[in-house]
């Protein structure tokens, strides 16, 4: 059982596949998990009083360089963050496939992530 059951931090090696509906992964103990992009989007929109049009397909956020490793965090429950060795790996394994299906993440350029 993770130390914080409402949050998981995993490495890119835990990704299995990205589909039109979400992300399949395995945790540190080998259990398979599913992140539903529709649920993440709904959670995003619940916390945005006047969402912009582009936010209708937003499922979480990604770092921009102020963190030691590039990462992407989803608004799933539990919240799940994936860390990558570089931006090329992050884009190839996760962000690129997500974009092909029309999903995206908030880029934290100003250090002002929405609170969830």
Structure tokens belonging to residue 34: 């599913």
Task: Decide if 15 is inside a domain.
Answer: yes
pLDDT tens track for 9-55: 999 999 999 999 999 999 999 999 999 999 999 999 988 878 888 78
Q: How many domains does the chain have?
A: 1
Contact (CB, 8 A) for 98 and 24: no
How many residues make up the chain in this entry?
116
Task: Decide if 88 is inside a domain.
Answer: yes
Task: Decide if 116 is inside a domain.
Answer: no
Say what the pLDDT of residue 52 is.
Answer: 80
Look at strands 71-74 and 79-83 and give their pairing. Answer: antiparallel
What residue numbers bound the domain in which 70 lies? 7-107
Task: Decide if 16 is inside a domain.
Answer: yes
Say what the pLDDT of residue 28 is.
Answer: 93
pLDDT tens track for 59-81: 999 987 667 789 999 999 999 99
Question: How many Å apart are CA 71 and CA 56, to the nearest integer?
Answer: 21
pLDDT (average), residues 86-108: 94
Instruction: Read off the CATH number of the domain in which 82 is found.
Output: 2.30.29
């Amino acid at each position: 059982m993770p130390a914080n059951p409402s949050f998981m931090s995993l490495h890119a090696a835990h990704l299995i596949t990205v589909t039109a509906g979400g992300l399949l992964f395995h945790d540190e103990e080998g259990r398979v998990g599913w992140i539903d992009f529709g649920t993440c989007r709904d959670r995003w929109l619940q916390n945005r009083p006047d969402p912009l049009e582009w936010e209708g397909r937003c499922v979480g956020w990604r770092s921009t360089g102020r963190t030691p490793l590039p990462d992407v965090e989803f608004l799933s429950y539990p919240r799940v963050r994936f860390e990558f060795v570089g931006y090329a790996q992050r884009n190839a394994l996760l962000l690129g496939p997500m974009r092909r299906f029309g999903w995206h993440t908030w880029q934290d350029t100003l250090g002002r992530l929405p609170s969830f």
